[in-house]
Amino acid sequence: MKYFLLISCCTLAAFGSHRVPSITITHPPDSTLRAAFHFVDSVFARKTFLFQTLEPDIPADMQSAIIRYTRAIAANQQWYLDYRNKYSTSGQPLPYNEHFGITPEEYRRIQHLETMPSQLTAVDSQQVAVSRDHGFIQLKSDGQTHLLDYLTIDSSQELLIYGGDTIPFAGRSGSGPSSPYGQWQGFTWRLERTDIASTLDANKVTARIIELNLGLPSEGGKTFLRIKYQDVSAGATTANMELLGYIR
């Protein structure tokens, strides 16, 4: 999953925000919340399931450029923040600079990956054990990626928790056939916590965003799961992860 995490990180850095394509959320009445947790309970009713990880199908010749770009930004983070802030009000993509560690053509292609997201392809699979105890559902993966293990579901209180944070229910959601996630219908939970009291400068904000999507793809026979986790400290991205896959 390393290239997916890298492209998520570098596109966020390049454009100052992460645009999620074509997920529509409808705000929930209480009946929708009950329906959502009934669906969650049915998805995790088994003792084990196969989780199939999906990643963008990034061209092989771009993978090296993405790694060099990400490393260059990490090595010159303060310079990058100053450079980004200089152009933050222009409303345009960040201009190329030789400090990016890549060629102008490579940077143009990275920008194109942001505007035209790659289609997803299966890259890995792992067995996940489901445990239930007094209304709590927890997961344990047997592979190298343990991002699902941070998810806890409190069915009795209708709460979804990720990494210790309770994620508010956002409502019904889905995406159309043109989305890189494919066409699916389901539910979304979203936490967006921003420390606006510490600074009036939007470029130095501290925030955490966690979003979880769970739904049924149009082709059936599987469940779509997406977890997006982002931390920003004093305007700098300190964590930026996106896990996509199918529960089978």
| Per-domain boundaries in the chain | 2-16+23-247
> If phi over 0 gives left and psi between -120 and 50 gives alpha, with beta otherwise, what is residue 147?
alpha
> If phi over 0 gives left and psi between -120 and 50 gives alpha, with beta otherwise, what is residue 135?
left
pLDDT at 111 over 90: no
pLDDT tens digits for 174-199? 988 777 777 899 999 999 988 766 55
From residue 179, alpha-carbon distances to 133, 200, 217, 226 in Å are 37, 35, 12, 13
What's the pLDDT at 128? Answer: 97
What's the pLDDT at 228? Answer: 95
CA dist., res. 173 & res. 181, Å (int): 13
Computed over every residue of the chain, the mean pLDDT equals 83
Residue type at position 87: Y
CA dist., res. 24 & res. 212, Å (int): 13
Phi, psi of 203, deg, nearest 5:
-85, -5
Collapse the DSSP code of 174 into the 3-class scheme (helix H, G, I; strand E, B; otherwise coil) and give the result: strand
pLDDT tens digits for 13-38? 433 333 344 566 665 667 899 999 99
Going edge to edge, which strands form the sheet with 223-233? 24-26, 169-175, 184-195, 206-217, 223-233, 236-247, 48-56, 120-133, 136-141, 151-154, 159-162, 165-166
Q: Which of 1-5, 23-27, 138-142 has the highest mean pLDDT?
A: 138-142
CA dist., res. 228 & res. 222, Å (int): 20
CA 120-124-130 angle, to 5 degrees, is 110
Segment 166-170 mean pLDDT: 96
Name the pLDDT band for 201 (thresholds 50, 70, 90). low
What's the pLDDT at 1? Answer: 47
Phi, psi of 53, deg, nearest 5:
-80, 135
Percentage with pLDDT > 70 across the chain: 82
CB 186 within 8 A of CB 175: no
Helix residue spans in the chain (DSSP H)? 2-15, 30-43, 60-75, 77-86, 104-115
Name the pLDDT band for 141 (thresholds 50, 70, 90). very high
Q: Who has greater pLDDT, 49 or 220?
A: 49
Q: List the structure tokens of 154.
A: 């409190």
